[in-house]
């Protein structure tokens, strides 16, 4: 019905309008408006955007993911080695408790063990796009926001490794293919790490040659992100791990502060809006109606695992109980990368249980709708939202004043 450029323009303008309406009229995150607009014009609504249209616009989605993942990695605050190890340990334990809770719920729903392992890996990651976009919208600044970025980055890496390693298990009845799949998984992980390190080296070298010229370094970073995403697509690996490694290593290894701190999220906004709209367009509300019970069980199990993991590690993370609960709430948004991975797995493994696919798609849809609100609530609970108009001024103003005083210093 529409060509790719028309769809891009419709998604951009319609998403922008829906996001502003959600923000100003309902005090909801803009990302919720983007997804709802996608549902309205997609296969669950007017049908103006079909699944094959989403595939033809996949380039925009990949670029948005690359930009936002770099931003997430770069926003992870540098820490002393001892504290960094504590956060890494806590993040891995939170991921394990979350994955265990999801796997147990899948088994209770009478799926196979291999399906439980795969579903747990797929549902594990918190959405980096929702986290960065929502934090940017509400002006989130502070130590707890930095901790949230760190936990999202860690569980994203754990989820990526878990998904890559669990896919060969789907061929458990074919030992030869399973062995080949395991070898492929190891090669994919190694390639992702090398690609992330190569992008970091290129930016650090370029920053040294260009010196501290923001406009030139901006082009340098954008160019490396684009070529990194392009290489990931060429090598047939996910952009998640390479871009996260790229962002983290650039921040950590730039000891001479040669890289100018640039908010790449502003460049990603145009692609981010389109990505959320397309994610909503490809989802089917009918699947949610058919699998609402399984989706609800998975959402509850995932939340319970995250709450339990964060509370168990609250002393290691130096949080009180209230802040720990808010942190676990901030981890609720489910990564839209899961949608892409699920589509790929369905293509490669036609034997994947249809009921499991339906349950996972329904869960992703629920978390796309309610996940951004969870992140917004967490940031406001931290007291680190400086641009959230719906909050009590007595709560918002002190946070804004703190940021202002820090800027003055």
Query: Is residue 304 predicted with pLDDT exceeding 90?
Result: yes
Give Cα 72 distance to the centre of its chain: 9
The DSSP bridge partners found for residue 140 are: 385
Range in 5-9, 177-181, 191-195, 261-265 with the lowest mean pLDDT: 177-181
Tell me which of 86 and 265 has the higher pLDDT.
86
pLDDT per position as a tens digit, 230-242: 998 888 887 888 8
Tell me what pLDDT residue 37 has.
93
Query: Is residue 19 predicted with pLDDT exceeding 60?
Result: yes
Tell me what pLDDT residue 199 has.
93
Q: Are 250 and 228 in contact (CB under 8 A)?
A: no
Q: Where are the alpha helices (DSSP H) in 76-142?
A: 81-108, 113-123, 128-137
Tell me what pLDDT residue 331 has.
92
Most distant CA pair in the chain: distance in Å?
Answer: 64
Tell me which of 57 and 347 has the higher pLDDT.
57
Q: Are 105 and 298 in contact (CB under 8 A)?
A: yes
Query: Is residue 150 predicted with pLDDT exceeding 50?
Result: yes
Q: What domains, with CATH codes, occur in the chain?
A: 54-270+290-363 (1.20.1530)
Q: Are 31 and 372 in contact (CB under 8 A)?
A: yes
Give Cα 22 distance to the centre of its chain: 21
Query: Is residue 350 predicted with pLDDT exceeding 60?
Result: no
* pTM given for the model: 0.83
DSSP 77: P
Range in 1-15, 52-66, 155-169, 209-223 with the lowest mean pLDDT: 52-66
Kindly list the distances between the CA atom of residue 91 and the CA atoms of 133, 139, 245, 284, in Å, as whole numbers in the listed order: 21, 24, 16, 33
Q: Kindly state the average pLDDT of the residues 183-209.
A: 87
Query: Is residue 75 predicted with pLDDT exceeding 50?
Result: yes
Q: Kindly state the average pLDDT of the residues 121-140.
A: 85
Q: Are 403 and 141 in contact (CB under 8 A)?
A: yes
H or E stretch including 261? none
DSSP 167: G
Q: pLDDT tier at 406 (50, 70, 90 boundaries)?
A: very low
Q: Are 178 and 168 in contact (CB under 8 A)?
A: yes
Q: Kindly state the average pLDDT of the residues 43-63.
A: 77
DSSP 44: T
Tell me what pLDDT residue 86 has.
92
Tell me what pLDDT residue 160 has.
82
Tell me which of 254 and 269 has the higher pLDDT.
254
Tell me what pLDDT residue 391 has.
40
Q: Kindly state the average pLDDT of the residues 2-15.
A: 83
Q: Average model confidence (pLDDT) for the chain? A: 81
**Quick one: tokens of 76?**
């992870």
Q: Are 15 and 37 in contact (CB under 8 A)?
A: yes
Tell me what pLDDT residue 132 has.
86
pLDDT > 70: percent of the chain: 83
Beta strands in 249-339 (DSSP E): none
pLDDT per position as a tens digit, 161-191: 887 777 766 665 554 444 555 677 788 888 8
């Amino acid at each position: 019905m529409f060509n790719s450029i028309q769809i891009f323009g419709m998604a951009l303008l319609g998403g922008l309008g829906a996001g502003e309406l959600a923000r100003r009229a309902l005090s909801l995150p803009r990302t919720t408006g983007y997804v709802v607009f996608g549902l309205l014009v997609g296969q669950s609504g007017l049908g103006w955007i079909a699944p094959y249209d989403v595939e033809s616009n996949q380039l925009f989605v990949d670029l948005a993911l690359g930009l936002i993942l770099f931003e997430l990695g770069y926003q992870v605050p540098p820490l002393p080695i001892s504290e960094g190890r504590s956060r890494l340990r806590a993040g891995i334990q939170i991921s394990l408790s979350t994955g265990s809770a999801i796997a147990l719920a899948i088994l209770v729903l009478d799926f196979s063990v291999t399906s439980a392992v795969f579903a747990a890996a797929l549902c594990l990651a918190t959405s980096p796009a929702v986290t960065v976009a929502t934090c940017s919208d509400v002006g989130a600044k502070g130590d707890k926001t930095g901790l949230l970025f760190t936990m999202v980055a860690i569980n994203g890496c754990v989820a990526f490794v878990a998904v890559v390693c669990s896919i060969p298990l789907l061929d458990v009845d074919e030992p030869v293919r399973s062995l080949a799949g395991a070898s492929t998984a190891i090669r994919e992980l190694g390639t992702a790490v090398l690609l992330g390190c190569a992008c970091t080296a290129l930016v650090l070298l370029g920053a040294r040659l260009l010196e501290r010229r923001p406009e030139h370094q901006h082009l340098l970073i954008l160019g490396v992100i684009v070529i990194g995403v392009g290489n990931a697509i060429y090598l047939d690996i996910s952009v998640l791990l390479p871009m996260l490694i790229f962002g983290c290593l650039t921040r950590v290894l730039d000891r001479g502060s040669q890289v100018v701190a640039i908010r790449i999220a502003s460049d990603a906004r145009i692609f981010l809006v389109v990505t959320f709209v397309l994610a909503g367009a490809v989802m089917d509300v009918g699947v949610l109606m058919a699998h609402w019970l399984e989706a609800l069980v998975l959402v509850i199990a995932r939340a319970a695992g995250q709450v339990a993991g964060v509370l168990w590690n609250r002393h290691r993370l130096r949080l009180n109980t209230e802040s720990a609960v808010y942190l676990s709430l901030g981890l609720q948004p489910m990564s839209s990368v899961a949608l892409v991975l699920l589509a790929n797995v369905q293509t490669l493994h036609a034997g994947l249980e249809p009921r499991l696919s339906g349950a996972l798609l329904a869960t992703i849809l629920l978390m796309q709708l309610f996940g951004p609100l969870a992140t917004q609530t967490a940031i406001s609970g931290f007291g680190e939202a400086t641009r959230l108009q719906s909050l009590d001024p007595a709560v918002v103003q002190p946070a804004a004043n703190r940021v202002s005083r820090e800027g003055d210093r």
